[in-house]
Amino acid sequence: MLGKLFKYEFKHTSKTMFVTFIVLAVATIAGSLALYQLDQTGMEGTFFSIFSMIMLVIYTIAIIGIYCGDFIYLCYHYHKTMYSSQGYLTHTLPVAPAATFSVKILVFFIWMLISTILSVLSLFVLLQVGTGGEFLHALLDFSWQGFSQDVRDIFGFSAGVFLIIAIFEGLLNLLYTILFVTASMAIGQLFQKNRVAFSILAGFGIYMANQIVSTIFLVACGYSTRAFLEGDFSSFMYSILGGSTAITAIFLAAFCGICIYINRKRLNLE
């Protein structure tokens, strides 16, 4: 049953997500041609250069709007299938609330990860086509050895470890954002009226709690700007990254606990 739920969730959201991906592809082609035109003709005030600039502005708006739109749509879908009248069908399935929640969060996370990857590829294609194929050459000619040595000198570990940490932190922050929103929704649906407003208030309260905990951590670990300014980047990275990762993990567990408990014990469907 869990596999069927996972398949249904993907199928139910795929149509809208694929439409946004197609729009992203069209915007990428248009933006790439516009940048290529500017690369060929320069910034003279001709009709084509002005038109190309307008297309680049539209591309920038489009790629930001599509990414934000994907996230908003998935939030809407989650709320609709969990806390609206449609939630009656979701919560009558012969699946534990924790399993239902996990499937929806996993699908949410996968779609946003795909959207992130496609957005990065879109920028790469834009720069590659817009520069007449020179962007990839410049990337290959980049002094990775020098970059790796600089990273090791500053932070005390290799560039490979640095990239792994960056990717891990990015994935963790994406998951945190998703669970932050779903936990806020879960708290907001406890109220009979003004659920959106209470969800926003819940999100603000969670944000403030995160800031307070982070501040307490910085004070407890004896962090000071003097040590950072004096060049002790290695200690800074280990303490701050380790502490922030631990705090994020604690909040992720709390978000999951809040959502699962409310979905199981305090569900209040519209």
Would you say residue 64 lies in a domain?
yes
Characterise 132 by phi-psi region: left (phi > 0), alpha (psi -120 to 50), beta (else). left
At which of 140, 156, 180 does a domain end? 140
Cβ atoms of 65 and 100 within 8 Å: the answer is: no
Check whether residue 157 and residue 100 sit in a common domain. no
Would you say residue 35 lies in a domain?
yes
At residue 225, the pLDDT reads: 53
Check whether residue 84 and residue 178 sit in a common domain. no
Would you say residue 204 lies in a domain?
yes
Would you say residue 150 lies in a domain?
yes
At residue 5, the pLDDT reads: 82
- Candidates 55, 173, 74, 63; CA nearest to 118 is 63
Q: Which residues, other chains included, contact 30 with Cβ-Cβ below 8 Å and sequence gap of 6+?
A: 55, 58, 59
User: Would you tell me the crossing angle of helices 233-265 and 195-220 to the nearest 10 degrees?
Assistant: 150
At which of 140, 164, 191 does a domain end? 140
How does pLDDT run across 14-57, given as a tens digit for each residue?
Answer: 999 999 999 999 999 888 888 877 766 665 556 667 777 888 88
Q: Could you state, in chain order, the average pLDDT of each consecutive group of 10 residues for the chain (270 residues)?
A: 80 92 92 77 64 82 93 93 80 81 94 95 86 71 68 70 84 95 92 86 93 79 57 64 83 93 79
Check whether residue 257 and residue 229 sit in a common domain. yes
At residue 221, the pLDDT reads: 64
Check whether residue 36 and residue 136 sit in a common domain. yes
Separation CA 196–CA 53 (nearest Å)? 39
Would you say residue 3 lies in a domain?
no
At which of 140, 156, 189 does a domain end? 140
Would you say residue 36 lies in a domain?
yes
Number of domains in the chain: 2
**The model's pTM:** 0.85
Note down the domain range covering 243: 143-270
At residue 215, the pLDDT reads: 81
At residue 208, the pLDDT reads: 93
Check whether residue 207 and residue 236 sit in a common domain. yes
Q: Which residues, other chains included, contact 103 with Cβ-Cβ below 8 Å and sequence gap of 6+?
A: 2, 5, 6, 9
